[in-house]
Amino acid sequence: MKLNCIIVDDEPIARDILRTYISQIPSLHLSGEFNNAFDAMQQMNRQPVDLVILDINMPRLTGLDMLRKLEKYPAIIITSAYPDYALDGFELSVTDYLLKPFSLTRLIKAVEKVISQKQQGINAGLKPETDEFLLVKSDRKFTKVFFSEITYIEACGNYMFIYCGAERIMTKQTLAQLEELLPRGKFVRIHKSYIVSKKAVKYVEGNELSVGGKKLPIGKVYRKDMLKKLTM
């Protein structure tokens, strides 16, 4: 999948770095770069854009204000030197929030999220649901975790590990707190330390359950309720 992307950033050095990074990502084609939000919005009206790599702090119109003015917009990766706006960005359904300075590897990871979401939308023939996600604080930033991507959640002391395929996200919450935020009917508690996605379960064998390529223990007090919920 090749994505047409644009850069919107008022800092020349930031645009230079992004231009260099984009040239090294085969899945991206840079179709324009802008030092203000107004020119970017005009370009988006003239020509379809798949991805906008957007700075927040710009004169006249900020990146977040630009998003609020648009009725519809493509995938958005925000780049900013300030973590304070992360929650605002995710409330506007941005795909990722990168803190400057960031590496090429970090941008590649964000682009892979965009591609994954678009492929899910194409396969289903629908636009992906952008409101079915958790916002969790991880590694000094807010991370958007889609319910559909979670395979299982593991408790380890005061920390939680959320597994999304090969990706592991650590956050400081209790399992009970996370359980309250998960959509009912899609996840099931199998142990005092584990919650699993029902659709990710491969099989149940004895006192173990296979999910995400790993066998997890089934707690005795959870077994009966778990089996009932797995068949609903």
Residues in contact with 172: Cβ distance below 8 Å, sequence separation at least 6, in sequence order: 137, 158, 159, 160
114 and 153 assigned to the same domain: no
Output the pTM of the full model.
0.58
For residue 120, what are the domain limits? 3-124
Cβ contact 76:95 at 8 Å: yes
75 and 177 assigned to the same domain: no
181 versus 29: the higher-pLDDT residue is: 29
> Is residue 142 in a domain?
no
> Is residue 65 in a domain?
yes
Size of the chain in residues: 232
57 and 21 assigned to the same domain: yes
Instruction: Give the domain CATH number at 69.
Output: 3.40.50.2300
120 and 197 assigned to the same domain: no
157 and 116 assigned to the same domain: no
d(CA 177, CA 112): 29
> Is residue 139 in a domain?
no
pLDDT of residue 141: 75
> Is residue 83 in a domain?
yes
Tens of pLDDT, residue by residue over 81-91, are: 887 777 677 66
Count Cβ atoms within 10 A of the Cβ of residue 77 and give its class: 0-12 exposed, 13-18 middle, 19 or more buried: buried
Q: What percent of the chain has pLDDT over 90?
A: 41
Tens of pLDDT, residue by residue over 208-226, are: 999 988 899 999 999 888 8
Residue 232 has pLDDT above 80, yes or no: no
182 and 108 assigned to the same domain: no
Split into its structural domains, the chain has a count of: 2
SS3 167: strand
